[in-house]
Amino acid sequence: MVKDSARKRAIRERMAQTGKSYTDAVRELDREAAEAARPEQRGPVVTFDRFSSQARDVVTMAREHARSQRHGTVGTEHLLLGLLDDRAGGLAFEILDDLAGSVETVESAIAAASPKDTTTAPQALHFSQHAAFVLAKGAPRQADKTGHGYIGSEHILLALLARHDSRACQILAALGIAYDPVRTEVVDRLTAMGVLSRYSNPR
């Protein structure tokens, strides 16, 4: 009875929030529950133990952008928007601003390439498969290649550029921003800051 009561309450809340009919609210809740039960379809599990506070801010900003645009998942384009958000700032922000001519240039390219707003944003935003891979595998891999014990915004940017079939990489490629030049910028700028870096393998 408790379970049924909680389910009915959740259905009523969804109806009030979205204006959907009882049947549509039930279908939406059931679909979200089914998706939550299949995490492997969303890619690897993301943990943030090694993420710097700045890198965590980038992910927070990415979630905010995805939610404000009423998108169903946090994609690589939202991670790119997080890197471009001056509230997070960081080395990736500076590099993108310099290589693209301005942050606004990249933001305009993202807006042109992103899907239109959906009518209803889900209650819980999950990472897309590409975004999950970038955060769980790609960024740690880039940090390991530089010999850094932390994951910063620059490692997220390099991981996005290394994921060639992601929307973020395609957007940046169209602007002439590629992995190798950005890698060079990261190493040179960190070296100037007194942070030693190494790359045993470019990719």
- Which pLDDT belongs to residue 69? 84
The neighbour count for residue 200, using CB atoms within 10 Å, is 8
Please, what's the b/e burial string for 100-114 (b: 16 or more CB within 10 A of its CB; e: otherwise)?
beebeebbebbeeeb
The neighbour count for residue 146, using CB atoms within 10 Å, is 22
> Which H/E stretch holds residue 110?
helix 103-113
Fold designation for 44-192: Double Clp-N motif (1.10.1780)
- Which pLDDT belongs to residue 37? 46
- Which pLDDT belongs to residue 32? 60
Is the Cα dihedral 180, 183, 189, 191 positive or negative? negative
Q: What is the pLDDT along the chain (203 residues), one digit of tens a residue?
A: 334 567 777 788 778 877 778 888 787 767 666 554 444 445 688 889 999 999 999 999 999 998 888 888 899 999 999 999 888 878 999 999 999 888 888 889 888 877 665 555 556 788 999 999 999 999 999 999 888 889 999 999 999 999 999 999 999 999 999 999 999 999 899 888 887 776 544 44
Within the chain, which residue ranges are assigned CATH 1.10.1780.10?
44-192
Task: Specify the pTM.
Answer: 0.73
- Which pLDDT belongs to residue 31? 66
- Which pLDDT belongs to residue 59? 94
CA angle 127, 130, 133 (to 5 degrees): 85
Backbone angles phi, psi at 73, to 5 degrees: -140, 165
For residues 87 and 182, is the Cβ–Cβ distance under 8 A?
no
